[in-house]
Amino acid sequence: MDLSKIRIKTKKKSFKRLGRGTGSGKGKTSGRGHKGAGQRAGKRLPYPGFAGGNLPYVRKMPKRGFRPPKRNEYQIVNLRDIKKKIKNVSAIDPATLKKANLIKDEEKPIKILADLEGTFNLKTTFKADSFSKKAKQVIEEVGGKTEQLRR
């Protein structure tokens, strides 16, 4: 094998030289048109939400309420789902919930709620970032424990 005979199979794209006189086909305004933001150096239009110079739709919409920049978005798990999918486990933690497809991400905070049909009888240790009062009460009535994760 001779390295000097290796050829890369790519099509060469010829580029148009801009601003090289009127005979070049891209002379004078160099394909930018006359006046306006599109003609200026560093143009970046149209950006997402640009509405042709009109007021963008996003700016027309009213702002409502307060959205804290660092809000906790919990992954919610109901005791009903835990009762259906998990049986005979020493501890229920984020890894167990992920394995049972009850949450999407182990790293994000988890909240356990007491949405339940019938009785709950899983006597085990629950590890989550947050519990509803009712869920905590139901787990402890059965003889289970609740541990709050600090993350």
Give me the residue label for tokens 């950006």: 47
Whether pTM > 0.75 for this model: the answer is no
DSSP class of 93: -
Task: Dump pLDDT digits (tens) for 58-114.
Answer: 899 998 898 888 888 999 999 999 999 998 899 999 999 999 999 999 999 999 999
The third-level CATH classification (topology) of the domain covering 75-148 is Ribosomal Protein L15; Chain: K; domain 2 (3.100.10)
Structure tokens at 118: 């019938």
Per cent of the chain over pLDDT 90 is 47
Q: How far apart are CA 101 and CA 145, in angstroms?
A: 22
Q: How far apart are CA 80 and CA 119, in angstroms?
A: 9
Looking at 9-18, 99-108, 111-120, 142-151, which range is the least confident one? 9-18
Looking at 35-49, 78-92, 126-140, which range is the least confident one? 35-49
Q: How far apart are CA 106 and CA 78, in angstroms?
A: 16
Q: What share of the chain is helix, strand, coil (3-state, %, to 5)?
A: 20, 15, 65
pLDDT of residue 136: 95
